[in-house]
C-alpha cells in the first residue's frame, strides 16, 4: 500500500488523480493546506507527498518528512524553485513533471497578449453595460512586431511557433541555446533593446531572479509589453510599477507574482488585500493579472496526474530508480529524464 499526501489541492486536482487511487494499492490523502514546517505533520504515516508551486519544501520541511518516513516528494509541476533539492539529496527523492502541456501555457500567454493589446477585457465589460463606444479601444497589429522570448524550452518554442503564425519577428535569449532550431538568438541586452513585446519562459534560478529590473526596463523600448507566465520573481515588481508609471512599459500581462503564495488559488474577494504592490498592479489600466492559471487545461491536468503517478510508482517498483528525478550532484541539479539504471543515491 502506497500512502500519498497531496498538499494544496483543489477540486480539479482531486478529479484528475481520482482514477489512480486503487483499493489495496494506493491511498490518497487530499489536503487543501499548503505544505509548510507546521503542516508537515499531516504527512505522518505517508510514503510520499505530492506538492505544487507554492508549497514550501525547505530544509526544515524535508527533515520533518524524513523523520516521518516519507520517501519521495513528487512535484506536480515543472518548476522546483520552492524545493531545497540540495538539502534533499541523500535524504529523500524529488521528482517533477517536466512537460505536461507546453501548449496550455503558450496559448494562455498569447491569450493575455491579445486581450491586452486589443482591449478585449474592457470591451467585455462595456458591452455588458450596453456601452458600444470604441473610444480608448485602439490597439496595434502583432504582424511585423518583434517579440523577444526569454527561455526556449518546450513552452518557449511553442510560443515562438504561435508568434510566427501571427507574422511576428522572433528573437530569443537562452543561456543554453537549442542547437539547429532555426531560432535567432541574441544577447539578453539586445533582446531588451529590440523587442516590442517580451515574454518570459525561463525557470527561476539565482541567475534569473529579478532579471527584469530597473536597469533592464531602462534598456527597453518605450511602450514595451511584458508577459510573464513562468515565475513571479523573474520580475522586480517595484521596478515594473515604476516603469508603468513612467510610461516606459506600455502593458504588463502577469500570470504569476513574486508574493503569490498566500493569495493565488484562493478566493480573497471578501478580504482587504494586504499586498499593496499587487493592489497597485491590478489597479493599473494596462495591467492584466491572472491567478497562475496558464497550466489549467483538461489535457494538462490529465498529463500531470499520469506523470506524477508514474514517477511515484517508478520509485516503489524499481528499487528507487525514478523517472524525472531532480538529482543534485557535483554542485548542480540534473533535470533530464533518462533511462536510469541506478539510483540517484
- Return the ∠ at Cα 231 (arms to 120 and 168), rounded to 5°: 50
Torsion angles phi and psi, residue 15, rounded to 5 = -65, -40
Among candidate residues 93, 108, 119, 231, the one labeled active-site is 231
CB 8 within 8 Å of CB 52: yes
Structure-block grid coordinates of residue 97: 513533471
Structural domain includes residue 342? no
β pairing state of 332-334 and 327-329: antiparallel
One domain for residues 59 and 193: no
Which are the contacts of 214, defined by CB distance < 8 A and separation ≥ 6?
A: 236, 239, 242, 243
Rounded Cα–Cα distance for residues 215 and 103 (Å): 32
The Cα–Cα gap between 139 and 43 comes to 51
Contact at 8 Å (CB) between 215 and 242?
no
CB 275 within 8 A of CB 259: yes
User: Three-state SS for 52?
Assistant: coil
Sign (positive or negative) of CA dihedral 276, 281, 285, 288? negative
Average confidence (pLDDT) over 275-280: 96
**Same domain assignment for residues 57 and 148:** no
261 and 135 part of one domain = yes
- State the average pLDDT over residues 112-124: 98
Residue with cell 533518462: 338
**Alpha-carbon distance 292 to 295, whole Å?**
8
Q: How many CA atoms lie within 13 A of 114 on its CB side?
A: 10
Least Cα distance to 321 among 302, 337, 305 occurs for 337
142-183 confidence digits (pLDDT tens): 999 999 999 999 999 999 999 999 999 999 999 999 999 999
**Cα 84–chain centre separation:** 17
Q: Is residue 11 located within the same domain as residue 84?
A: yes
| 217 pLDDT above the threshold of 70 | yes
Task: Return all residues near 269 (Cβ < 8 A) that are at least 6 apart.
Answer: none
The whole-angstrom separation of Cα 27 and Cα 23 is 7
Are 267 and 149 in the same domain?
yes
- Sign of the dihedral through C-alpha 8, 51, 19, 256: positive
CATH number at residue 117: 3.40.50.720
At residue 230, the pLDDT reads 97
Asked whether the beta carbons of 65 and 73 are under 8 A apart, the reply is yes
pLDDT of residue 257: 98
* 337 pLDDT above the threshold of 90: no
Residue 257 lies inside a defined structural domain of this protein: yes
Residues 116 and 89 in one domain: no
- Residue-range definition of the domain harbouring residue 96: 2-100+298-334
In a domain, 345, yes or no: no
Return d(Cα 245, Cα 90) in angstroms, integer.
Answer: 49
Based on the residue annotation, tell me whether 119 is a catalytic residue of this protein: no
Residue 339 domain flag: no
| Amino acid 343: pLDDT | 86
Statement: residue 8 has pLDDT above 80: yes
Q: Is residue 263 part of a domain?
A: yes
Strands (E), 156-217: 169-173, 197-200
Which pLDDT does position 252 carry in this prediction?
A: 98
pLDDT over 90 (residue 293): yes
Q: Give the pLDDT band of residue 276 (cuts 50, 70, 90).
A: very high
Assess if residue 113 is contained within a domain: yes
How far is residue 18 CA from its own chain's centroid? 24
User: Using 50, 70 and 90 to split pLDDT, how confident is the model at 339?
Assistant: low
Q: Which residue intervals of 22-153 are DSSP H helices?
A: 59-67, 85-88, 102-117, 120-128
Mean pLDDT of 305-312: 97
Radius of gyration, alpha carbons of the chain: 21
Q: Are residues 230 and 198 in the same domain?
A: yes
Whether 84 and 163 map to the same domain: the answer is no
Question: Cell 531602462, residue?
Answer: 218
Residue 260 annotated as catalytic: yes
Give the Cα-Cα-Cα angle 150, 239, 283 (nearest 5 degrees).
100
Classify residue 153: in a domain, yes or no: yes
Is residue 340 assigned to a domain?
Answer: no
Distances (CA, A) of 4 to 205, 241, 244: 29, 42, 45
From 108, 201, 292, 340, active-site residue: 292
**pLDDT value for 336:** 63
pLDDT of residue 197: 99
Number of domains in the chain: 2
State yes or no: pLDDT of 282 exceeds 70: yes
* Same domain assignment for residues 206 and 309: no
Identify whether residues 175 and 232 lie together within a single domain. yes
pLDDT of 338 reads 58
- Among candidate residues 8, 258, 260, 325, the one labeled active-site is 260
Q: Record the pTM.
A: 0.93
187 with 253, same domain: the answer is yes
Longest dimension (CA), the chain: 66
Across all residues in the chain, what is the average pLDDT?
Answer: 96
Q: Are residues 264 and 210 in the same domain?
A: yes
Could you report how far apart the first and last alpha carbons of the chain are, in Å? 23
Amino acid at each position: 500500500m502506497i500512502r500519498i499526501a497531496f498538499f494544496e489541492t483543489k477540486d480539479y486536482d482531486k478529479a484528475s488523480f481520482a482514477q489512480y487511487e486503487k483499493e489495496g494499492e494506493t491511498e490518497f490523502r487530499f489536503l487543501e493546506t499548503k505544505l509548510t514546517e507546521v503542516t508537515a505533520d499531516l504527512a505522518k504515516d505517508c510514503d510520499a507527498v505530492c506538492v505544487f508551486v507554492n508549497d514550501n519544501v525547505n530544509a526544515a520541511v524535508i527533515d520533518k518528512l524524513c523523520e516521518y518516513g516519507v520517501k519521495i516528494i513528487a512535484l506536480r509541476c515543472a518548476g522546483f524553485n520552492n524545493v531545497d533539492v540540495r538539502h534533499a539529496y541523500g535524504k529523500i527523492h524529488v521528482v517533477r513533471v517536466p512537460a505536461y502541456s507546453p501548449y496550455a501555457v503558450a496559448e494562455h500567454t498569447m491569450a493575455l497578449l491579445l486581450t491586452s493589446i486589443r482591449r478585449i477585457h474592457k470591451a467585455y465589460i462595456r458591452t455588458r453595460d450596453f456601452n458600444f463606444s470604441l473610444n480608448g479601444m485602439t490597439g496595434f497589429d502583432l504582424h511585423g512586431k518583434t517579440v523577444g522570448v526569454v527561455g526556449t524550452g518546450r513552452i518557449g518554442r511553442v510560443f515562438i511557433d504561435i508568434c510566427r503564425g501571427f507574422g511576428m519577428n522572433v528573437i530569443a535569449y537562452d543561456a543554453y541555446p537549442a542547437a539547429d532550431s532555426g531560432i535567432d538568438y541574441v544577447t539578453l541586452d539586445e533582446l531588451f533593446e529590440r523587442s516590442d513585446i517580451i515574454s518570459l519562459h525561463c525557470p527561476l534560478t539565482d541567475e534569473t531572479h529579478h532579471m527584469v529590473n530597473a536597469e533592464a526596463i531602462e534598456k527597453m523600448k518605450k511602450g514595451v509589453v511584458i508577459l510573464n507566465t513562468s515565475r513571479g520573481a523573474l520580475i522586480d515588481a517595484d521596478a515594473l510599477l515604476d516603469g508603468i508609471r513612467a510610461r516606459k512599459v506600455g502593458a504588463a500581462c502577469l500570470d504569476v507574482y513574486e508574493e503569490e503564495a498566500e493569495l493565488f488559488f484562493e478566493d480573497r474577494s471578501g478580504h482587504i488585500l494586504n499586498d499593496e504592490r499587487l493592489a497597485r498592479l491590478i489597479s493599473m489600466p494596462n495591467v492584466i493579472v491572472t491567478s497562475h492559471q496558464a497550466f489549467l487545461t483538461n489535457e494538462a491536468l490529465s498529463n500531470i496526474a499520469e506523470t506524477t503517478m508514474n514517477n511515484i510508482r517508478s520509485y516503489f517498483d524499481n528499487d528507487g530508480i525514478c523517472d524525472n528525478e531532480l538529482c543534485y550532484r557535483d554542485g548542480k541539479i540534473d533535470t533530464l529524464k533518462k533511462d536510469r539504471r541506478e539510483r540517484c543515491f
